[in-house]
Each structure stands twice: as C-alpha cells, then as structure tokens.
C-alpha cells in the first residue's frame, strides 16, 4: 500500500505519481490521506490500480478516470468522475453537482445522495445512486444508464437522448422530451446487474423501478414542438 499525505506532499506530486503508473505495475494499492476537500484528486489516472481517498474531496475528483478503481471514504465535491472513461468510482457519502458529467464509461456508485445535474450530458457511463438525485439530472444524457434508489428532483432527463433512467422513488417532474417507458425483461436484467455492481442489491429489487427515456420528439426540429424548447 502506497500512502500519500496530500496535506504534506501536495496535489501535483500525487497526480504525477499516479500518472506515472503505466501498464503493469506492482504499486496497485494507493491510499490518500488528509484530502481536506482538495480539487482534482486522482484526476486523469490511467492504470488498473485501487486508490482509496480517506476523507472528502473537492471538485473533479477522479476526473477523466481510466481503468482505476477509486474509493472516496467521505463525500465528493462537484464534478466527481466527470468524463470518466472506464474503471470505477465509489463514494461512501454524498456527491455534489454534476456527478459523472459527460462520463463515457465506467461505473459511478454514490452511496448517499447526488445533487443537481447528476449524469448531465452522460455518454455511456453507468451511475448507481443509493439515495436521491437533484434537479435537472441527466440533462441531455446521451447514452449509458442511471439507477436511483431514492427520488429524483425536477426536470429529470430534460432533452434526453438515448440514456436509460431507472428510478425507484418519486420523480418530481420530467424534463422536456422525457417520458416513462415500459420495463421490459432486458431492463429488469439491466437494473439487477447494476444493483449488484453498485453494491445495492440488498437494498432494492428490479421490479420496484420505473424506466424513463426519450420520446425522441426533439430529435428533429419541428415548430409544433417549440413550446418544449
């Protein structure tokens, strides 16, 4: 285990060390102590390593992550795992705005609540939120899947493309072009798989979820839909 004291050695040294890990490395387990809400912790990692951050993080922790498994033993600030490419990020606490924004792959697990704009503009990432998600979540979400065990705030999935949204609790309102859709067998299987990988299979069952997706009415401009813009 490599232990890195962020308050002592600084962000640049941490990320330089993590970026230096290429291909096969024996330094596969890292621990970051004293994060104290610092920004951009473990941003841009591209190696199959495990990084445990012991405390809460600032903006953009695990940004653009590739391959790494990053565990935040606290809460995460805005933009956690933004544009993640692959790997896994697991947050024990809550996540602030824009969690998983534009993520293109990998799995983001938030064991607490996620604030507004969770999964905004997502492009393939999978997100499991044990609690609630805030307003405007999944705005312009392009692809990937979101599973929410709690409630969703206002305007869920506004201007949605092809991302799949599953919510167990109440949805305060749906955004433009987002509608409820039938749960078919493949969707139950998808939710079951995500609950398992998202460490939530003991908390919920697939049949408790509703599916939301795009009505695809805004895909090509039509003046008769102008009120939705």
Partner 1 sequence: MSDFPHTPPKMSWTFSNDVNAEIRRAAATGIYDIRGGGSKRRLPHFDDLLFLGASISRYPLEGYREKCATDVWLGTRFAKNPIHLDIPITIAGMSFGALSGPAKEALGRGASAAGTSTTTGDGGMTEEERGHSKSLVYQYLPSRYGMNPDDLRRADAIEVVVGQGAKPGGGGMPLGQKISDRVATMRNLPKGIDQRSACRHPDWTGPDDLEIKILEIREITNWEKPIYIKIGGARPYYDTALAVKAGADVVVLDGMQGGTAATQDVFIENVGMPILACIPLAVKALQDLGMHRKVQLIVSGGIRTGADVAKAMALGADAVAIGTAALIALGDNDPALEAEYNKLGTTAGAYDDWHEGKDPAGITTQDPELSGRFDPVLGGRRLKNYLKVMTLEAQTIARACGKNHLHNLEPEDLCALTIEGAAMAGVPLAGTNWIPGRNGGF
Q: Which positions lie near partner 1, rule CB under 8 A? A: 11-12, 15-16, 19, 39-40, 43-44, 46, 58-60, 63-64, 66, 78-79, 82-83, 85, 97-98, 101-102, 104, 117, 120-121, 123-124, 139-140, 142-143, 159, 161-162, 218-221, 223-224
Nearest approach, Cβ of residue 67 and partner 1 (Å): 11
Task: Name the 3-class secondary structure at 107.
Answer: strand
Nearest approach, Cβ of residue 216 and partner 1 (Å): 8
Nearer to partner 1, 47 or 195 (CB): 47
Between CA 44 and CA 47 the distance in angstroms is 10
Nearer to partner 1, 40 or 195 (CB): 40
Nearer to partner 1, 37 or 74 (CB): 37
Instruction: Work out whether strand 69-72 and strand 50-54 pair parallel, antiparallel, or are unpaired.
Output: parallel
Backbone angles phi, psi at 109, to 5 degrees: -115, 125
Nearer to partner 1, 106 or 206 (CB): 106
- Whole-number Cα distances in Å, 137 to 89, 114, 133: 18, 9, 7
Nearest approach, Cβ of residue 187 and partner 1 (Å): 19
Nearer to partner 1, 179 or 218 (CB): 218
Q: How many CA atoms lie within 13 A of 21 on its CB side?
A: 25
Nearest approach, Cβ of residue 11 and partner 1 (Å): 7
Nearest approach, Cβ of residue 132 and partner 1 (Å): 20
Task: Name the 3-class secondary structure at 104.
Answer: coil
Tell how many helices (H) and how many strands (E) occur in the chain: 3, 11
Task: Name the 3-class secondary structure at 6.
Answer: helix
Nearer to partner 1, 34 or 208 (CB): 34
Nearest approach, Cβ of residue 116 and partner 1 (Å): 11
């Amino acid at each position: 285990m490599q232990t890195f004291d962020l308050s002592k050695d600084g962000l640049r040294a941490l990320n330089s060390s993590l970026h230096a890990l290429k291909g096969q490395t024996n330094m596969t387990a890292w621990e970051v102590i004293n994060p104290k809400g610092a920004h951009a912790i473990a941003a841009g990692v591209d190696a199959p390593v495990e990084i445990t951050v012991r405390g809460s993080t600032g903006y953009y922790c695990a940004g653009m992550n590739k391959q790494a498994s990053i565990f935040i033993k606290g809460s995460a600030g805005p933009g956690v795992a933004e544009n993640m490419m692959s790997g896994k990020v697991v947050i024990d606490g809550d996540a602030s705005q824009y969690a998983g924004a534009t993520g293109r792959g990998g799995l983001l697990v938030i064991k607490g609540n996620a604030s507004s704009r969770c999964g905004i503009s997502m492009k393939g990432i999978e997100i499991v939120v044990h609690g609630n998600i805030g307003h405007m979540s999944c705005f312009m979400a392009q692809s990937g899947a979101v599973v929410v065990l709690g409630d969703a705030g206002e305007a869920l999935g506004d201007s949605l493309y092809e991302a799949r949204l599953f919510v167990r609790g109440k949805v305060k309102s749906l955004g433009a072009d987002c509608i409820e859709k039938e749960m078919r067998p493949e969707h139950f299987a998808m939710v079951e798989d995500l609950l398992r990988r998202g460490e939530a299979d003991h908390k919920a069952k697939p049949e408790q979820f509703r599916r939301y997706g795009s009505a695809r009415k805004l895909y090509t401009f039509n003046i008769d839909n102008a009120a939705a813009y």
